[in-house]
Amino acid sequence: MKASELRLKNKTDLKIELESLLKAQFRLRMQVATKQLDNTSQICKVRRDIARIRTILTEERRNG
């Protein structure tokens, strides 16, 4: 997901998206632990999306 797309969403939508990404990250970590995950690049993509959302939420908090 692009940062420009995320900036268009409101704070509650971002928090919901963040929560779903954190759950997805947990599921991916469990799949890695049980050797069920084939495409490990998914973990990096989810981590980047989490970082993007957290950055945008922090920017909004600082700017008011």
How many distinct structural domains can be found in the chain?
Answer: 1
pLDDT for residue 64:
76
pLDDT for residue 1:
79
Residue 62 burial (CB < 10 Å; 0-12/13-18/19+)? Answer: exposed
Structure tokens at 40: 């490990």
The CATH number that applies at residue 35 is 1.10.287
Summarised one tens digit per residue, pLDDT across range 1-53 is 789 999 999 999 999 999 999 999 999 999 999 999 999 999 999 999 999 99
- pTM for the whole thing? 0.91
CA-to-CA distance for 29 and 40, rounded, in angstroms? 10
Provide the pLDDT confidence category of residue 60 given band limits of 50, 70 and 90. Answer: very high
Instruction: Give me the domain span that covers residue 43.
Output: 3-63
